[in-house]
Amino acid sequence: MTTMRFDLEEIAFHSPTIRLAGLRPLVNGELIAAGDPAVSATEEGWRLAWELNGPATGAGFVLELKACELPGGGEGLEIGCHLTGIQTGTVIDSFGLRIEAIDNVRAYLRSGYFSWDGSFYVEPQQLGVAGADPKLATGYALSQLLPESGEGSVVIGFLRHDRFQHRFRFEPQGASLAVAIETLWDRIPHDGPLQSEPLVIFAHAGAEEALRVWARLVAAASPHPPRVSEKRITGWCSWYNLYAAITEENILEHLEAARGARDGGLRLRVFQIDDGFTPEMGDWLDVKPQFPRGMKALLADIEAAGFVPGLWIAPFLVGNRSRLFREHPDWVVRDRDGGGPLAYMTFYGEFRWHKRSEEYYVLDVTHPEAEAYIRDVFRTWRHDWGCRYFKTDFMNAGSDYGPDRAVWREAGLTRIEVWMRMARLIREEIGDALWLGCGSPLFVPVGLVDAVRIGRDIGVKWAGADRSAQSLLRDQTTRNFANGILWQSDPDCVLLRDRFHHLTEAQVESLALFAGLAGGVLMTSDHLGEISPNRRPLLALLLGDGVAGNCDFPFLGDASASEAGAADPLILQQVGQNSGAARGSMVVNAFNTADHAIDRRIPWARLGLSPPSSIRDWRGEPLEIEPTGLRLQLGPHESACLILENGSFSGVEKAPA
């Protein structure tokens, strides 16, 4: 563990490689103080105080710094941010801290807020380029800084996420990088000082392990302990095969196939019916005529087959053609500008999701009658219908809008306090049932959900910005750190079928290995009675013994592994085997994401390993051991999943680049 210190004379943070200087207070996005702060010592650390000018004249901005102990050893700095002397009634949208100059930064982590809002490393020179994705400049909750020269990283992140949204805004500042770190106060009433959640900043010798340290701090600060189980969430989901074209008949057909696969040795727990059984979003207690016995009888069939019965719901969404909206138009969030319903999504063309609604609104969970309704839905599904696995989708609809855009029935709440009202009632009504949050804020529901989707929907093609492999490759690597600490991560369903997609054999196998070896949720949508003989052993390998696993990406953020002039196309995964007959072995999966072949030799020490006693591929074929390192010859989009036998992996320290 490396150290992070605060220099009082410079008013700057220093790690062994990265310097962060030029601290300035921000209120409502504006710098409203000039000059350096008054600095004084406290019992625990330091106090920095500015007098504010402009619209907040007479107010003060205070930073309180103190040392904090990090999980695993070492110290970081905890920062408290306060606004004092703000007159009651003054509108506060946001406040925080701007760091004017961050030196020696090669890349920073842009952390997206919810499942489909991608997380990835950004090089500062990418900012401000014409046509660049505006997402590059804005992240949430945390960031990580990787040095241009030297090892390790610096992590900056908030400890709690259940009251406010926290935003990072990056911009180039000459040869340096600047960042604004803000709490979105969302205009909630205030009388006295305004206080943000604690912010931590620390240095670490690694990249992925540094993010895990932050996740452990978040877990410790959470008002609810994380729901992390040793049992892995595995099973079958209807969406990526049947999509919305589901009926009782074809669900029962797939149930029989899943039972046969399970009885044949595949460790499948959940059988989940996805979207398509309700006529409109919002009408969650109504069922289409394609399900003549209703959902209670069908879920009982799933239970009798030995599976955990699951259903899909989008609790925040209300279609404009729904009976719910027709009868209760005042139950949805209003648009502040026009006064009408705030449209979260619109479908004005031919695609309507197999429903009639052209617009989808946001259920106003602060309306007492709307809250009572959605409580009744979850209570009915759980205790009458028998659902024991809930996949809640489009959860970001409840956190996307602040008071500048949305009008809720109950004023004076932040967007996250509104979101938590829904989240808490769901957990209260479903009891101990499993809950997967999809399209969800990532760190808000810690201790409430069992799993979180960490990327976009999977698709049937390799390339593209949406519903393709590319977003999964990016998001899984940078969000893997939270798996098993805050929740189980869900990379979405693995595709195993031979037809009806645009992927090669190598791509199907590589993507399945990449998602399945991550050790979190593992679901498929394919007909399990039609899986080809060569794919069935692959699924069995990925399911393993049903125990949730831990996966490392040892080259995460490692520029030294890159090819000249381009990001490294080789993704390495390492999974230690800690149970059963495989105890003491390690799985190393090498995934060539490039469109061209690669030939690479990686020294054993770079992997943190000593030469193994034996190597075999995942099918069991023995391979030759090279004493100097791991030899990888991979075609485009190919993977080599290798099982290394050696009992001393954990004692080998990864060599520096």
CATH of the domain at 568: 2.60.40.1180
The total domain count for the chain is 3
Place of tokens 């650390």: 45
Does residue 80 sit in the same domain as residue 141?
Answer: yes
- Model pLDDT, residue 234: 98
Verify that 540 and 575 share a domain, yes or no: no
Q: Mean pLDDT, consecutive 10-residue segments, the chain of 657 residues?
A: 84 96 94 87 93 76 96 95 90 96 97 96 91 92 97 97 98 92 97 95 97 98 96 97 96 98 97 97 98 98 98 98 98 96 96 92 98 98 98 98 97 97 98 98 98 93 77 90 98 94 94 95 97 94 92 86 60 77 78 95 91 94 94 96 72 39
Residue that terminates a domain, selected from 484, 517, 549: 549
pLDDT of residue 56: 62
**Do 238 and 215 share a structural domain?**
no
Phi, psi of 221 (to 5 degrees): -85, -15
Same-domain pairing of 576 and 491: no
Distance from the first to the final alpha carbon of the chain: 17
Dihedral sign computed on CA atoms, order 251, 256, 262, 266: negative
Residue 475's domain spans which residues? 234-308+366-397+413-549
Burial class (CB in 10 A: 0-12, 13-18, 19+), 616: middle
CA distance 262 to 302: 13
Instruction: Report if residue 313 sits inside a domain.
Output: no
Whole-number pLDDT of residue 21: 96
Domain C-terminal end among 515, 549, 583 = 549
User: What's the pLDDT at 647?
Assistant: 46
Out of 549, 567, 601, pick the residue that ends a domain: 549
* Residue 193 falls inside a structural domain: yes
Whether residue 139 sits in one domain with residue 120: yes
CA diameter of the chain: 75
Please report whether residue 119 resides in a domain.
yes
**How many of the other CB atoms lie within 10 Å of CB of 652?**
14
Per-residue pLDDT, 53: 80
- pLDDT reported for residue 353: 82
Kindly state whether residues 120 and 154 are assigned to the same domain: yes
Residue 407 lies in a domain: no
Q: What is the CATH number of the domain that holds 482?
A: 3.20.20.70
With respect to residue 568, please indicate whether it lies within any of the assigned structural domains.
Answer: yes
From the number of C-beta atoms within 10 Å of its C-beta (0-12, 13-18, 19+), residue 654 rates as middle
One domain for residues 381 and 495 = yes
Q: Are residues 19 and 94 in the same domain?
A: yes
What CATH code is carried by the domain that includes residue 127? 2.70.98
Model pLDDT, residue 289: 97
Residue 344 forms part of a structural domain: no
Question: Quick one: 75 and 10 in the same domain?
Answer: yes
Q: How far apart are CA 499 and CA 513, in angstroms?
A: 19
Residue at 638 is within a domain = yes
Is 228 within the bounds of a domain? Answer: no
Q: Domain check: are 151 and 293 in the same one?
A: no
125 with 249, same domain? no
Judgement on whether residues 588 and 632 belong to the same structural domain of the protein: yes
